[in-house]
Every structure is written in C-alpha cells, then in structure tokens.
Amino acid sequence: MDTTYEQRFSQNARRMRASEIRELLKLTQWPEVISFAGGLPNPAAFPTEELRGVIEHVMAEHAPDALQYGATEGHNKLRDAIARGMGIEHDTPQSIHNILITHGSQQALSLLSHVLLDPGDVVVTGAPSYLGALQTFRAFQAQIEGVALDESGMDVDLLEKKLRSLAEHKRLPKFIYLVPTFQNPSGVTIPLERRRRTYELLCEHDLLLIEDDPYGFLRYDGEKVPLFKSLDEQERVIYLSSFSKILAPGFRIAWMAAPESIVNKVCLAKQTQDLCSNTFAQYCIFEAMYHDILFPHIEQIIRIYRRKRDTMLAAMEQYLPDRARWNRPEGGLFVWVTLPPFINTLDMFAKAISNDVAYVAGQAFFPDGGGQNTMRLNFSHPSDEMIEEGVRRLANVIREEIEEKEKALEDELIGGF
Ligand SMILES: Cc1ncc(COP(=O)(O)O)c(C=O)c1O
C-alpha cells in the first residue's frame, strides 16, 4: 500500500506527538548510565515471596472467579476493604458505591478526562505537575493553566488570582488537579492550612478537585497531613490512589473514591475501554490486604526509601556546587533541584548522558513553559552505591556547565564594550 498511515489517523491521533523529553528518557536506559530519571519503585522492595504465596492461594481457593471477567466497578471485597481502609487510614470512610477500581491511576485520569472535559475546557494544575496528567489533559484538548508552587505546594494566593481572572473571562476550570502530598515532580506537600484555603476557593468558585495521591503512604518523617478528601463537605473531591508505589505497579491496580454519580459515569466510560480491571490482580491484592501483607510491606519500603532519600541528600550536600538548591522531601520518590537561572537543564542533558548520569529536565513538567533551570531526581530506583556515584557525576556536570555559561556571559559582556 502506498498511502501513508498518517492520513488515516483520527484528528485526535494526529495531534498526538512523542514528547521530546520522553524520547530523551530512552537514552537513560543504557546500562552504563546511572539514572535518576525514572519514577520506578525498587524491584528489591517488591514482596516477591509473600506474593508467590498469595498467588498460589488465589489459584487454589478462588480460581473460577479470579480468572473470570469481573464487574466494571471492581472486585467487591477489594472495594469494600478500600472503602473501610479510607476510614481507618484517612478518617474519611467511604461507601463501597464511592469506590471504583481502575488500571492504574493513569487510567482514572484518562477516564475522568473522558467524562469531564470538552475540547477547550480549562484545567488548573501546578506548575510543575505530573507529566502523565498533563499529557492526558492535553490529549482531551484541555487548556491547561499552571499555578506556580512554592515550598508548600501550589501557591494559594496565585491560585486565588488565577481563578478570579478566569472567572472574569467566564473560563472557570472544569477541575483543579493536584498531587498534594509528596508531589511528583517537586516532592513538596501542601500543609493543612493551605489545603483549607484551597478548599474554600473550590467552594467559592463551585469547582471540583482531583486529588491524586499515589505517594501519601510513603512518609519518611514529619506529621501526616489530612487529605483534601477528609475536608470535603460538599462532594467536590475526586480522590485517586494506587497500589503501584506501595505494592507493585505491574498489577496496574488503583482506586478512585468519588461521589457516586461520578463513579457511575466513569464506570460507563470504563466499559468502552476494558470492561473491567484485571480480576486476578484484584484478587491477589485483596488477599495481600486480608493476610496482612500490605501494611508490613509498606513499613519495609518506607525504611528502604528513607535510607535512599538520606543517601541522596547527603551526597548532594557533599558534592553539588553551592549555587544548586534542592528541597528535603518528607516522603515520596523525588528531590527537586534548582540551578542558577542561566542554566538550561534540557541543554545540559547531553553532557549528563556523556558523563553516564541522567535526570529529567524540569521544563517537561511545566504546562506552559518555565522551569528551564530545574530538574527532578528519583532516589527510589538506583542502588545506594549508584546514588552516591550518580550525584558525584551530576555535580561535575553542573559545575562544568556553570563555569562554561559564566565564561560565555563574561565574554558577551566584554564583547559589548
Ligand atoms: C502523580 C501520579 N499520578 C498517577 C501516576 C500513575 O500511576 P499508576 O497508573 O501506576 O497508578 C503516577 C505514576 O508515577 C504519578 O506519579
């Protein structure tokens, strides 16, 4: 056939483009590269033996149901355990009718976009924000409005201004999307007082919030902060969480806790995608909860990741030049680094790769530009030794780049005279 496939694609598919950053990330998979670029759990922290027992148990006791299609909403025992668990863990008990099981939170983001967004609708996100969410909202042709973060998450004064201005133009967002706890990519957490003010703004402007919380369980120090969902007296919060980071992402099982009418509509959208989430995986996860494997396992990964975070922070303290700044996340998987404003971390990436170290350039996470001098570093996946060596390599790259750029600026100034 001599026609190209391009012209056969739908308009929507034609708009899809591989992101430059995702392409660059392929380079980080070379074996000699120490990569801080991914966001993967550490395979050494998977409870392999315990899960082998669980899988054997599911096959021995539940095979006819576990190998069958299931309800679109999800396996009822798992939904019920999650509904009750949200009461115990987060003081926000749910009814089983508020819980929907999805194939990862990523699917939940796509399904919610499907049922909430029309082309041109506005969505407000953090700047920076989770790349997978930005890509999804873009795929549904949303207009994304970013609000800057500070060390306590989305700046609520800026959010207030943004909403006022959008309201004046009759362009209020369909929803606000936040990762309030140990945000991907910045690692920051919104404190309670700021959550309250943000929630008041939701009420004032009659808005929904998607609270995406895959990292909340991974707290290494500091006090737990109540969920937006637990402040929600007006059914405005759609809560998402996932077993990916606390058990194993290969199961692809996550959940949504939302007002029943949203669950019902999302369920219809899900029927067009996959009929139901992986039944076998849902049975396994329920058994892992029932046989008390999940929570002790979370305790264990917290110990491992806390040590890795501390190893990374200590190495950064030791090796990074004074002019680099970074935060100290109390949980999650990422540290956020800010370099002097004349450094562009995307331009610096080639130098990093040739020094066998990788990161994600921060600008990937900004919905509408910015963040050129920032980067995200992941500490969960590399081994402790690799973390130290990788930070040492990265420090050399940054130092060299700062020197080169400063020299170029100086030459430019002299040239200007
Ligand atoms: C903030 C956030 N939301 C959602 C996801 C998707 O997770 P999953 O689809 O594995 O549940 C991720 C994955 O890294 C994430 O960081």
For residue 52, give both structure tokens: 């082998």
Neighbours of 151 (CB within 10 A): 11
**pLDDT tens digits in sequence order for the chain, 417 residues long:** 556 788 888 888 888 777 766 777 777 778 899 999 988 899 988 999 999 999 999 999 999 999 999 999 999 999 999 999 999 999 999 999 999 999 999 999 999 999 999 999 999 999 999 999 999 999 999 999 999 999 999 999 999 999 999 999 999 999 999 999 999 999 999 999 999 999 999 999 999 999 999 999 999 999 999 999 999 999 999 999 999 999 999 999 999 999 999 999 999 999 999 999 999 999 999 999 999 999 999 999 999 999 999 999 999 999 999 999 999 999 999 999 999 999 999 999 999 999 999 999 999 999 988 999 999 999 999 999 999 999 999 999 999 999 999 888 888 777 765
Residue 208 φ/ψ, nearest 5 degrees: -95, 155
Strand order in the sheet with 208-212: 99-103, 253-257, 237-242, 208-212, 175-178, 122-127, 143-150, 153-154
Which CATH topology does 6-47+296-416 take? Aspartate Aminotransferase, domain 1 (3.90.1150)
- Ligand 1 binding pocket, CB closer than 6 Å: 39, 104-106, 130, 132, 179, 184, 212, 214, 242, 244, 249, 254
pLDDT of residue 25: 74
Q: Which sign does the torsion angle of CA 80, 81, 82, 83 carry?
A: positive
Atom of ligand 1 at shortest distance to CA of 252? Answer: 10
Q: Are 303 and 74 in contact (CB under 8 A)?
A: no
Which residue has its alpha carbon closest to ligand 1 atom 7? 105
How far apart are alpha carbons 239 and 90 in whole angstroms?
12
Domain boundaries, the chain: 6-47+296-416, 68-291
Ligand 1 mutation pick, 40, 101, 186, 242, max ligand atoms within 8 A of CB: 242
Burial (CB count <10 Å: 0-12, 13-18, 19+), residue 27: middle
Atom of ligand 1 at shortest distance to CA of 243? Answer: 11
C-alpha 106 to ligand 1 mean position (Å) = 6
Q: Are 316 and 326 in contact (CB under 8 A)?
A: yes
Give me the amino acid identity at 43.
Answer: P
How far apart are alpha carbons 263 and 268 in whole angstroms?
9
pLDDT of residue 3: 64
Q: Which helix (H) or strand (E) segment is 143 a member of?
A: strand 143-150
How far apart are alpha carbons 36 and 383 in whole angstroms?
11
How far apart are alpha carbons 138 and 335 in whole angstroms?
26
Q: Following CA atoms 145, 147, 148, 153 in sequence, which dihedral angle do they give, to the nearest 10 degrees?
A: -130
How far apart are alpha carbons 283 and 260 in whole angstroms?
23
Bond from prior residue into 185 cis (ω within 30 degrees of 0): yes
Q: Are 294 and 247 in contact (CB under 8 A)?
A: yes
Ligand 1 mutation pick, 22, 25, 100, 106, max ligand atoms within 8 A of CB: 106
244-249-255 Cα angle (round to 5): 45
C-alpha 318 to ligand 1 mean position (Å) = 31
68-291 under CATH 3.40.50.2000, yes or no: no
